[in-house]
Structure 1
Amino acid sequence: LGEDELDVYAAEFERTGLTGALNRYRTMDRDWADLADVHGAPVTQPSLFVGGGLDASTTWLADAIEAYPTTLPGLTAAHLLDGCGHWIQQERPERVNTLLTEWLAEVAPRR
C-alpha cells in the first residue's frame, strides 16, 4: 500500500476499531451450521479463481485448489498472480479488474 492508502485504512481503524473486521472471524463456526444442508455439494455456477502466488492461503489451501475440478465444476478460469500476496485487488488492481471484466463478458455476454 502507498502512504495515502495506508492513511485511509489507519484512519478508519482508528475511527471504528477492529470489531467489524473481527466479527466475521468470530462467526465462522456459525457457517458450518448455516451451510450444513449443502455440505460437500459442488459449486456448479460459473466461477473464477484469482489468487496471489505469494499468498500463504494458496499454500495451506493447496489441496482445496487441487480439488477445484471436483468441487467447482463450473470453474471457467483460474489465475495465480506471480509476486502478489493476499490482497490481490489492492496489489494488482488493473490486472484483477481486467480478469474480472473479461470473465464477466465471457459468462454473461450482452444480449
Structure 2
Amino acid sequence: MARKGKESGRPPVITGDTVHIVLRHPRGRRSVEQIQPGLIIPAGKRKGRNPSVASIYRAPAEHAKREVCPEAVEQAHIDFAVLQVGQVPGARLAVPGRVPL
C-alpha cells in the first residue's frame, strides 16, 4: 500500500497544531479538562469532535520523543525511501556521546 501512496492506519488525533496548543497551556494554570473543549480532531472517524483526555496527556510525551533525536527520525525516513527503491541502506557511523538505537 505504501508504494501506491496510500497510508494505512488511523490518522493522528493530536496533530502538530494541537500539540502546540497543549504545550502552551502549562498544567499549573489550566487543567486538561479545561483545555479539551477548545481542541478539535482534524481528520478521521471522530473528525470535528474533541480528543480524549488521555490523548491530550500523551501528546507532550510523544512530542518530546520526536524532538529528542530528530536526526534519527530523518535517517529512518531516508532508509525507508531507499528500501522502497529496492536497495539496502548502508552502514552508519556511530556518533560519539550518543547511545546507538
Give the alignment's TM-score, normalised by structure 2.
0.25
Higher relative contact order (CA 8 A, sep 6+): 1
Give the alignment's TM-score, normalised by structure 1.
0.24
Larger strand fraction of residues: 1
Larger helix fraction of residues: 1
